[in-house]
Structure formats: C-alpha cells, structure tokens
Amino acid sequence: MYKLTVRLPPFAPDYSGACSALFELGGMIVIHDASGCTGNYTAYDEPRWYDSRSLIYCSGLREMDAIFGNDNKFIDEIANAAAEVKPNFICMLGSPVPMVIGSDFKGIAVEIENRTGIPAFGFATTGLQYYDKGAADAFLAIAKRFTTRAYKKEKNTINLLGATPLDFGTGSNVKDYRHEFEVRGFKVLATYAMDCDMEQIKKSSASSVNVVISASALPLAEYFSQIFNTPYVIGQPIGKRHSDKLCQLIEEAQQRGENQVFHVPRDHDANVLLIGEQVTMHSLRSCLYEDLDIATDIGCPFKLISHIASSSDFALPSEKSIINAVNSNKYTHVIADPLIQELIKKPLRFVPLPHVAVSSKVHWNNPPELAGEKVKTILRGVL
C-alpha cells in the first residue's frame, strides 16, 4: 500500500518503457493483455503514436485463454501477423495477468523465432515496475542481438544512449543535445532510440565514447564497455559551463579508454529540490552549480544509479514520500513535473519541468528546453 497514489497519476510502467525504447526500430511489438495495458501505453505514454505507423499490437487475452494457458493461440496470431508485416524483430511484453499465470515469454520468443525466422524477444514485464526498468531491458536486448560486430572506432564520435519521449518528450531536446555535442567537435553516430534506425544500431560499436543521457541506458553502456571496450560518460549537455565540462570528460574518456563521471560538490545548505529522472536532475544540478552557484538536492521517484549518486540524492518511492520532501520546510524552491505542485502545502517557489513518465499527455505538448543555454528559461525560475 505504500505506493498508493491519491493525487498523482500512476507513473509510466515497465511495458511502456520497453515499447518506447523500441518504437522507432521497425519491430513488431505485442503486449499480452486484454487491451487495457496496450491502450494505456498508446493513449497515455506514447506521444508518437498519433502520427506514426509503428507496429504495436494487443494479444486480446481473454479469461479462458488465461485459465487454460492457451499460448498456442498467442503464438499463431503473432506468426500470422509477422508473415504479413515482415518486421525487423518481434517483441512480446507481459502485463499483470500473464505475470499471475506465469507466462514464459522467453520460451514463447524462442518458438516464434523458430517458426518465423525473425529475431524475437520476450520480456516478463508486469506493469508493476516503472518505465526505466522496461526501457533498460529493451535497450540491452536490442544491442546484444544486433550490435554484434566490432567496427573500427572513429575518433571524436559518440552515441547518445537512453533517449525516449518518456524522459525527453517529442520536442527538440534530443536534436538539441546532438547539436550541443556537434558544435563542440563530436559526431553523433546513433541515438538509442529516437531519430535512430537499425543500421545505426548495428554500426554503433564504432563510437569512441558513449554518453548515457538517462539512467535506463546504464546497462547498455556497461555492455558496450565490456564487449567493445567503449568507455562511457553519464550526463546531458545542459547549460554552457556544464556542457563544456561534460565534453571535457568525453575527451578524457576517449584518450584514457576509461569511464568518466562528474560530481558536484556537496553543500549541506541546499535549499533547492530537484525531483525527476536522476541523470536529468544530476545534469541540471551541475548546471545550477556552475552557472549560478546554487546548491541542490535530488529526489528520485525512479531508479537511483550509484555511479552518480551523492549523499544529497535520495529515493522518493511513493506519493507520501514526495509530500514529505516538498513540505519538509528545508526547501525554498522545487523543480519538478507540474503535477507535483499539487502536493505542496508550504509556501515556496515552484518551477515546472514536465516529465512525460509522470504527467503523461497533460503536459507532453509543452516539453521543457534543456539543451545548452536554452535552459536559461528554467534557471530564471530559481533566481
């Protein structure tokens, strides 16, 4: 019951994260459910759905199929559909009912691949974990299957890992990030997985460094590090000074062949609270420190990765924990998704930073601009 939400909507679940990570790669994605979870993803967690031709299917799971475990019907329908649309791959995702009956998605994937000859994946998503877990599993699976050749590394090239609208919206953020790196002398080979295709995925081992722009991509970055000896840096190019420092770390990673992580000095007198995805907030924290000498704490409702966490990073696993944090009398400013403002009972200054995984379509048409000096619009809110 500790995850009960009364005033906030449910955050984007794991199957939405996996769907979002794979959306643009030409695969056939099937959610095994009675239509509710598929409808939740397409209507509330996927801004691209309304003007795209991506292959997102619902299995149409019915009560008798669940009771008798009729997997053959599921497999036959997927195989027949795949024969028509000829996707790059097939991905099956779970929902709460398959979790309860113990559907073997990996086994189903093997059978489908044997029947169709098309690469197939199965993820036992449940809808009970958040989007970052599903996206992390999907990013890693697609790389293990398709990024298999070790291309010769190209100097001053990078991949941006972890791009989905659930974190960055459908605005210009990801393109602006590419621009910030390009004007500083780095060529972006692939952006997992927005504005990206399978050919770029296959050749992405040629990059000299990977840049992790969301926590969901850390397992993918570690895979590249282990298999292709590609070092990684964690961060987004937010603000001029922070972006310059981030690119310096990329250069060091390229020269040394070692992962590089930036840290912001801890200030026990921080009176600004950032709430959201950890890499975004960590980069914004650095920007506020470098440009305005403002100290911040970070509260994260999603995955906390130890690589960049400091003693001022803390988990916010429930609505109640968020309410306690924003009303603790410690902070004079809060930067978070606009829906968080409804939880604040104390007088303080609130700076809205829409996050699709939190507020869904309520705010996804007005994503914040964070790249480079565009972040000044947000910085003005804390001055």
Give the pLDDT score at 308: 80
C-alpha 54/C-alpha 24 separation (Å) is: 7
> pLDDT band at 285, cuts 50/70/90?
very high
pLDDT, averaged across the chain: 89
How many other C-beta atoms lie within 10 A of the C-beta of residue 7? 11
Q: What is the reported pLDDT for 4?
A: 75
pTM score > 0.75 for this model?
Answer: yes
3.30.980.20, 3.40.50.1980, 3.40.50.800, 3.20.20.370: which CATH number matches 14-129?
A: 3.40.50.1980
pLDDT(66) > 80: no
- Please write the tens of the pLDDT for every residue from 116-168: 999 999 999 998 999 999 999 999 999 999 999 899 999 999 999 999 999 99
Region 22-50: mean pLDDT is: 89
**C-alpha to C-alpha distances, 291 to 198, 296, 382, nearest whole angstrom:** 38, 13, 12
Q: With contact defined as beta carbons under 8 Å apart, do 73 and 56 qualify?
A: no
User: Given 1.10.1220, 3.40.50, 3.30.420, 1.10.3710, which CATH number is that of 272-382?
Assistant: 3.40.50
Q: Kindly list the domain boundaries of the chain, sorted by start residue.
A: 14-129, 149-256, 272-382
Residue type, 103: S
Measured in whole angstroms, how far is the alpha carbon of residue 116 from the centre of its chain? 30
For the stretch 288-317, pLDDT in tens is 988 888 889 999 999 888 878 777 889 999
Position 267 confidence tier, pLDDT thresholds 50, 70, 90: low
Q: Which long-range contacts (CB under 8 A, 24 or more apart) does 183-188 make?
A: 184/243, 184/244, 184/247, 185/156, 185/247, 186/156, 186/157, 186/158, 186/247, 186/250, 187/154, 187/156, 187/157, 187/158, 188/157, 188/158, 188/159, 188/160
- From the list 82, 50, 250, 101, the residue with the least C-alpha distance to 161 is 250
Query: What is the rounded average pLDDT of the residues 65-83?
Result: 79
| Residues sharing a CB contact under 8 Å with residue 130, sequence separation 6 or more, in sequence order | 11, 12, 13, 14, 17, 301, 302, 303, 357
Of 4-13, 116-125, 232-241, the least confident: 4-13
The mean-pLDDT minimum among 142-151, 266-275, 333-342 falls in 266-275
Given this model, what pLDDT does residue 54 score? 84
Asked, colleague to colleague, whether 14-129 and 272-382 share their fold, the answer is: yes
Query: How many CB atoms neighbour CB 31 within 10 A?
Result: 30
SS3 call for 133: helix
CATH 3.40.50.1980 fits 149-256, yes or no: yes
**359: how many CB neighbours lie within 10 A of its CB?**
19
Pick the more confident residue, 164 or 98. Answer: 164
Closest CA to 257 of 207, 306, 307: 207
Q: Does the structure show a pLDDT above 60 at 87?
A: yes
